Each structure stands twice: as structure tokens, then as C-alpha cells.
Structure 1
Amino acid sequence: MNTTLFDRVSAVQADLLVTFVPSEGAFPESTAWVDGNADGQLSQLRESGVFKGGLAQTLLLPSITQDFAQPVLLVGIGKDAELSDMQARKVIAAVAAQIKSLPYASVALASRALVLKKRTQSEVTALIAQWLNEGFYNFLGFKQDDAEKATKVTDLLIEGDDEAALAIGTATANGSAFARQLGNLPGNVCTPNYLASKAQHFGEEYGIDVELLDETKMDELGMHCLLSVGRGSDQPSYLIVMHYRGGEEGEAPHVLLGKGITFDTGGISLKPGPKMDEMKYDMCGAASVFGTMKAICELKPKLNFTAVVAAAENMPSARATKPGDIVKTMSGKTVEVLNTDAEGRLVLCDALTYIERFKPKSVVDVATLTGACVVALGSVNSGMYANDDAVAESLKAASQISADKIWQMPLNEEYQQQLDSNFADIGNIGGPEAGSVTAACFLSRFTASYPWAHLDIAGVAWSGGAAKGATGRPVALLTRYLLDKAS
């Protein structure tokens, strides 16, 4: 889809014009222009109560007058002069839903009427471009009527003059869509090998360097903790490494690490049957890292960035790791596997040790790690832990700009004792209390050599119920974090 800016509503040549109507007070400039060229019909509609301009209310006018034959989609923005992020997102979601149901190929959005609280116009432009394009997403490829569901829009025009902001929003949405597509794929398609092939395709498409460490190589490196997770599966495990080199030659990279458990049965510690199908989403951390790499490759910022994915399938079999087994990590530490369903930390710990060779400026791992984080924070905030205040503050700043919410959680030393084991250096679970915290404590033991943060995205990576599907979070947060590092 081609996304471009335009300066004046009066100059727009598009199949559909989208303009915004407040529920009270004067019309924004663009809406007033449409009203003036439509013999005041917009004013009449609001005064009569036919279209009150309520938040996210929509009304399609196929043709207003003989002289103004262009279809117009009216979208209500309520009574507030400035919208919150949540209100604006509802408005844009309503716009996207209407556009998806219409046959128009080119759409112009008179978006200057949208004013968001505590946001610059550049931020608003980026968010509108991102949210609108995200709203066009459809999961395609497995239903007979998929061709009919595909968005028909080929050209999207957004009012404004900030091409950089528009590019950021569009690239972020593209990255989010890629992450959602990976997350929504079934486990019989999206295997560790499939993720490895996607990395190779990235290498070919964007000219980035890709390394694939297979089980033989990981065994040679002593990554027995990661390998223990995939031992019960017929699908081979991989450590996937992608290098984007847009900065100075030899400059240390920022690293993102994604948990890529392409299906999680829990292993021998088998999960309950209900909703187990949603465990295809246990690779959404990896999906978000892939999506961020796509966004960065499109934007081409000046920084060095390495994406790492620890990919495995957690299955029960005669070969599978058993509760009580002790495995050795690449770092030399031993782990007593008390619960095979606490497998994400097992693949991540060896990857965190492997990353040391890059001498990274920062490392952020992203994982659907614990149900405990869902209990603590629900589906609004990702849980964030950090061993470095500067990394934590950078992520908070990126969260504010991207509207991709995080909440910093504690990483106090007192929690570490919950991971004590009678038989190994560390247990892989710490009991029922503070489950998300002790999972982060486990990971922290492998990050002493660099600034690090952990994002537990178990509550935000996908939605269940009637709206079941991957969300693409936290691609927006991670993309903004890296762009800030480049600037």
C-alpha cells in the first residue's frame, strides 16, 4: 500500500474522503470546507441529530451534491477538544473498519482535525498512519474466501507535512502486520525451521547478515539448556541471528532477543487442554523481534542492531526433559528443571549467554513468559524488568511516544532465593509467589556483562475469545526504542 501526505483537503483527488465531526462547537477547518461545499449538509445532519458526532460514530455520504460528487465518510470525535490515545485509537479503528467494507482504492484522511493530548503533530501523524494500517490487517491464507477479505485500498493519503513521521508509522504497521501473521500461523506451519527460513528471506530481501545455529552447533557451544526444551519434539531447534548494520563499522549493536516457542504443550508438565491451541502464540516474542527487524530495515536508521531468536517446540515424548532433570547451561551454571512448562527461561538463558560475544550496548529480551504477568498487569501493560536504569528509562520514553504501554516491575535481590535448588545451581521455578518476578530473576543471572531489560508480554501479545489473534505488540515500542538509539 502506498501511503503519502497531502497539504490541503481541497486539492485531494481520492475515491473517498474521510473527515471528522465533533459533537459540539465549530467544525475543524477540513470539515468546514466540506460542509461549505455541501451546502451546509454536515451542519444540518448534526443539528437534526441524524449524525451527532459521537466518539467513533460513522456515516457514509455516497454523494453530497451534484457539484461535490466525491463520497465522504463522516467520523465522530466526540465533545473533547483533545483526545486521549485510547479515544483516538477507537476513532481510527472505526475508520479502518468502515474502509475495509468499502470498494474504494484510494482514501484521503483529513487527519489534522485530530488533536491528541500531550502529543506533537508529528507523533499524531505517526500514530494515525500506524493505527490505520494496522486496522487493515487480515489473517489470510487458510479460508476459501480470503481473497474477498483483502483490503482494497492501494493508496492512502494522510493530511500533514511530516514525511518522516508518516514513514515511521507506516513501517511500524508493516512490522506489526508481519509479527501478527507469524503469531497467527498454526503450529504445524510456523515451526522453528519456518522461522529460520523467514530469517533467510530477510537476508535476501534486505541484505542483512543471517546466521542459523542448528542443534549440532548449539551442542558444541554447550547450549544444553536451550536444547533440553526441544528434546521431546521431532522439530529441530535453532538459534537464529540477524545483523542489521546501519551504523559505524565495528560499533557495538543493540540486541533484541525473542522467545520462539512455536508450540508449547508444557512438555511432560502438560498444560490443561482448554485453550491449548493458543499456545501457538508462545512465539510472539520472536514474532515481535522479526517485525521490528522488518520495520528497521524499511526505515534504515543509522545504528547497528542484532536480532536473536531462540526457537524450539516444547512437546512430550520418551525423549523429553523430565521434571527433576538437571541440565547445564552455556554459562556453566546448572539448572534443575522442576517444571518443563517453565521452558521460555531455559531457551532464553543460553541465548543471553551467546549474546555476550557481541559486546552489546543494550539487550532487550521479549517473551510470553508467565501467566503471572497476566494476573498482575492484564492486557494493558507489558511487564518490564531491567538491571540498568538507563535502559529502563529509554524503554519508558519509547513506550510513551509509541503508545505501547509498559510498567516497570521489581527485581529485588530478595526474590532470588526463591530459585534456590538442593541439587543444582538454580531451579527453573520459584514457587507460586511473584511468578513473573522470579522468572525475570532467573534471566537476570545470565546478564551481568551488559545492560539488559526483559519484557514479559504474556498479557499483551494476543487476544482471546471472539477477537482471538496476535496483536503485534510490542513492535511499536521496540521500533521506537531503536530509532531513539539511532538519533
Structure 2
Amino acid sequence: MNTALFDRFSTVQADLVVAFVPSDSALPDSTSWLNESLDGSIEQLRATKVFSGKLAETLLLPVTNQDFAQPILLVGIGKDDELSDAQARKVIASVASQIKKLPYKTVAIASSELAIKKRSKNNVLTLVAQWVNEGFYEFIGFKKEPEIAPDVETILLQGTDEDSLKIGVATAKGSHYARQLGNLPGNVCTPSYLASQAQQLGDDYKLKIDLLDENRMDELGMQCLLSVGRGSDQPSYLIVMEYKGGEEGDAPHVLLGKGITFDTGGISLKPGAKMDEMKYDMCGAASVFGTMKAICELQPKMNITAVVAAAENMPSGRATKPGDVVRTMSGQTVEILNTDAEGRLVLCDALTYIERFEPKSVVDIATLTGACVVALGSVNSGMYANNDTVAADLHVASTTSADKIWQMPLDEEYQQQLDSNFADIANIGGPEAGSVTAACFLSRFTKSYPWAHLDIAGTAWAGGASKGASGRPVALLTQYLLAKENA
């Protein structure tokens, strides 16, 4: 689908126009112009409560007036002069939901007249471009009769800043890619499949791709990562994708994604209920793939390295057992008290491997702990950092992208919960502060560079009737990296 800009409704060529209507304040300029062209019809609808303008309410006007012949989709924006991020997202979701059902190829939206609290018009344009495109996501999957594609081919947004538009569209493309990977079943999306996706991205965008198989990881001493996939018939991979947009030799910013393509818990087997959702345990990796796609679309002048630690956690006669001790690439030994705390085991070796890039910053993204879901629910991703600058930059990116995070503690006192009688470190720290001790475990492998950890266990997917991957935090990561381009 194409997304472009337009200036005024009076000159735009579209099959359908979308105008915003508040419930109890003056009509925005474009809606007011439409109202006058329609002899006051919009005001009359509002006055008679046929269309009240409540938040996300919609009404289609099949207009035949000679002054303005296109049909109009009216969308309510409620009574507030400025919307919150959540309200604005709900409004745009209702727009996308409606226009997907309508038989129009070109749709013009009065996006410049959607006011969001504390946001510039250009930032609003980016978010609207992203959200309306994300509203068209459909899982490309396995149903005998797939969804019929919507008729719309072009979305026109009212605005002037092409760069803001491009960021929104590219972010949506990255989000779509992340959601598609996340929603694939575990019998399709294996570590080898993720490796093939990296090769495809490399071909499409001329990235440098390196796929470390189990033999190479064994030679490097990555016994912790390898221990997770030991019980599976699927081989594990460490996937490296390098985007070279900056000067040769410039240190990269690095993203690292947890790619457990299915997590049974291993010998520490999970309960059967909702275990199907453990196909989403690679959503950290999916967000890294999605962010790289967005970055490749935008072509910033900087170097970025993406790393994915991919494995399948299964029980078998070869599987790692509780009580086993394994050696990490860093030389530290780990007593594995629970094989279901496997994400930190694949990430710790990857964090050590990343040292060779001498990175400017490292952000790892992982569906790491149920404890983070208990602490923050599905609203905020948990953020931990060993560097105040990285933490502050992620907060700014979170605000800009409306992709929420909340900084969690990383105090030294929590480290003692990881003490082991038989190894340098245990892989779990007991029931207290589970998300914190998981981050503390990772921090022991990040001493040589600025680092942050995003625990997205509560935000990466939704369950129930709306089951599906969210695409988070592609928007956050994209904004974080773009801000680093000129830093």
C-alpha cells in the first residue's frame, strides 16, 4: 500500500475522505470546510446526535453534493482539545478498521488536524502514518480461505514533512515483519527459518550476514547457548546482520534479540495451558528483524549490527537437566537450576560475542520473565541499563514513538540471589524480583560496553480473542537508532 501527503481537501483527488469531528467544540478547519460545502450537514448531524463525535465513533456519508462529490467518513475525537496517545491510537485504529471494509482505492485523511498532547505536528504525522498502516496488518498464514485483501491502494495524509511520513511508513513495515515472524507456528519458524530470513534480508538490502552454526559456536566456547537447544532436533544458530551505512571502521550500535522459537521449558516442563503461546518466545528476535527492515528502508548514515540468538527449548534424553553446570563463552560457569530460565542462557553468550564489535551501545530485547508481566502488565516494557545515557536515550525514544518502557532497578544487592555453591552463578535467583535478577544475570556479561535490557514478556503479544504478536518494540528501537545517527 502506498502512503503519500496532500495539502487541502479542496484540491485532493481521493475516492474517500476522512474528517475528524469533536463532540462539543468547534470543527477543525478541514471538517468546517466540508461542513460548509455540505450546507451545514455535519453540524446538523452533531446537533441532532445522529453523529455525536464521541471517541472513535464513525459514520459514512455517501455524499452526492455537487460542491463535494466524494463520500466522507466522519470519525469522532471526543471532547478533549488534545488526545492522549492511547486515545489517538484508538481513533486511528477505528479509521483503519472502517476503510479496510470500504470499496475505495484512494483515501485522504485529515491527519494534520489530529492534536495529540505534547506532540508536534510532524511527530503526529509519523505516528498516524505508522498506526494507520499497522491497522492493515493481516497474518499471512494457513487458512484454506485467506482474508480478502482490502480495496484501498493509497493512503493520503494531510501534512508537509516527507521525512516524518517515511519514518512512520518504514516503522509500520518493520512492525508488520516482526508480527508476521512472531505469529508463525513453531513448526515453521525454527532457528533455521530465522537464519534463512536473515539471508533474505541480506539479499534484499545488501546486509553482511554471518550465520554461526553449532560447530562454530562450540569452537568459540558458547556452551551456555548450546545447552538450551541440546534437547531439540532443530539446530541452534547465532545470527549476525550488519548494516553499513556509516564510515568504515565506525563502531556500531548493536541490537540483540532472544530467539527461542518454541519454549517448552525443557526438562522443567511448562504447564500445558497456553503453552502454544510459547511460539512468541522469539518476539525479541522478531523485533530485531523488524527494526532492521525499518532501518534498511530509511538508510541512516550509521553502522548497526543485529544479533539473534536462536534455539528451540525441548525435553529429550539429550536435554540439559536441572543441576547441570555449563561454561559460558566468557569463562564463567552457570548452574542451571531451572531449564525454563533459558533466555538468559542464550543471551549471555551472545553478549560476550558482541564484545568483538566494540559497540557504542548494546540493547537486548527478550521475552525474558513472567515476573515482568506481573510487575508491569501489558502497558510498559521493562528496561534495565548499566549506563545512564543509554537509559535516557531509550526514554526519549519511548516518548517519541509512544512505545512505553519503565526503568527497573539493577542494584548490586540483588546479585547475591544468584549465588551458587557449585558454579560462578546460578541461572535463577528465586521467586523474589524475578525480572530484576534475570537482568542482573545478563549484566555480568556486559561490563565492557554501555548496555540496556528490554524485558518485553508482557508487551510482545496479546492472548485471548485478540491473540497475536504486537510488533513492539520496533517503533521504540527505530527511534532510538535514528536519534543516534547524528549523535
TM-score normalised by structure 2 residue count:
0.99
Q: Distance in 1 between matches of 2:150 and 2:408?
A: 40
Count of paired positions: 486
Give the 5 Å matches for 1:266-277.
Answer: 266-277=265-276
Once the two structures are TM-superposed, the CA of residue 66 in structure 1 deviates from its matched residue by: 4.4
Q: Distance in 1 between matches of 2:383 and 2:241?
A: 24
AA matched with 2:5? L
Cα deviation, 1:246-275, whole Å, max 9, x if unaligned, reads 111100000000000000000000000000
How many percent identity over aligned positions? 76
Give the match for residue 106 of structure 1: 106
AA matched with 1:216? N
AA matched with 2:412? E
Once the two structures are TM-superposed, the CA of residue 71 in structure 1 deviates from its matched residue by: 1.1
Give the match for residue 26 of structure 1: 26
Q: Distance in 1 between matches of 2:241 and 2:150?
A: 31
What secondary structure sits across from 2:445 in the alignment? Answer: coil
Give the match for residue 203 of structure 1: 202
Give the match for residue 427 of structure 2: 428
Is the 2:126–2:164 contact (alpha carbons within 8 Å) kept by the matching residues of 1? yes
Give the match for residue 229 of structure 2: 230
Is the 1:38–1:64 contact (alpha carbons within 8 Å) kept by the matching residues of 2? no
Q: Distance in 2 between matches of 1:190 and 1:139?
A: 14
Give the match for residue 143 of structure 1: 143
Once the two structures are TM-superposed, the CA of residue 65 in structure 1 deviates from its matched residue by: 2.1
Instruction: Decide whether aligned partners of structure 1 residues 297 and 121 sit closer, same or farther in structure 2, where only a CA change above 3 A counts.
Output: same
Give the match for residue 285 of structure 1: 284
Once the two structures are TM-superposed, the CA of residue 104 in structure 1 deviates from its matched residue by: 1.4
Cα deviation, 1:214-240, whole Å, max 9, x if unaligned, reads 000000000000000000000000000
Give the match for residue 42 of structure 2: 42
Give the match for residue 438 of structure 1: 437
What secondary structure sits across from 2:429 in the alignment? Answer: coil
Q: Distance in 2 between matches of 1:145 and 1:65?
A: 40
Once the two structures are TM-superposed, the CA of residue 67 in structure 1 deviates from its matched residue by: 4.3
AA matched with 1:113? E
Q: Distance in 2 between matches of 1:399 and 1:171?
A: 17
Is the 1:110–1:158 contact (alpha carbons within 8 Å) kept by the matching residues of 2? yes
Q: Distance in 1 between matches of 2:87 and 2:31?
A: 19
Q: Distance in 1 between matches of 2:447 and 2:67?
A: 69
Cα deviation, 1:11-37, whole Å, max 9, x if unaligned, reads 111111001011112211100111111
Once the two structures are TM-superposed, the CA of residue 64 in structure 1 deviates from its matched residue by: 4.4
AA matched with 1:391? V
AA matched with 2:307? V
Q: Distance in 1 between matches of 2:349 and 2:200?
A: 25
Give the match for residue 294 of structure 2: 295
Cα deviation, 1:425-466, whole Å, max 9, x if unaligned, reads 000000000000000000000000000000000000000111
Is the 1:363–1:451 contact (alpha carbons within 8 Å) kept by the matching residues of 2? yes
AA matched with 1:16? L
AA matched with 1:23? S
AA matched with 1:73? L
Is the 1:61–1:73 contact (alpha carbons within 8 Å) kept by the matching residues of 2? yes
Give the match for residue 220 of structure 2: 221
Give the match for residue 247 of structure 1: 246
Is the 2:208–2:243 contact (alpha carbons within 8 Å) kept by the matching residues of 1? yes
Once the two structures are TM-superposed, the CA of residue 297 in structure 1 deviates from its matched residue by: 0.1
The answer for unaligned runs of 5 or more in structure 2 is none
Q: Distance in 1 between matches of 2:210 and 2:275?
A: 32
Once the two structures are TM-superposed, the CA of residue 87 in structure 1 deviates from its matched residue by: 0.8
What secondary structure sits across from 2:142 in the alignment? Answer: coil
Q: Distance in 2 between matches of 1:449 and 1:309?
A: 20
Is the 1:257–1:309 contact (alpha carbons within 8 Å) kept by the matching residues of 2? yes
Q: Distance in 2 between matches of 1:349 and 1:91?
A: 41
Give the 5 Å matches for 1:364-443.
Answer: 364-443=363-442
Cα deviation, 1:59-94, whole Å, max 9, x if unaligned, reads 011224244321110000111111111111110011
Once the two structures are TM-superposed, the CA of residue 99 in structure 1 deviates from its matched residue by: 1.0
AA matched with 2:339? T
After superposing on structure 2, the runs of 4+ consecutive aligned residues of structure 1 that deviate more than 3 Å are none
Cα deviation, 1:287-328, whole Å, max 9, x if unaligned, reads 000000000000001110000000000000000000000000
Q: What RMSD, in angstroms, separates the aligned Cα atoms of the two structures?
A: 0.8
TM-score normalised by structure 1 residue count:
0.99
Cα deviation, 1:109-143, whole Å, max 9, x if unaligned, reads 01122111111111000000001111111112211
AA matched with 2:270? K
Give the match for residue 91 of structure 1: 91
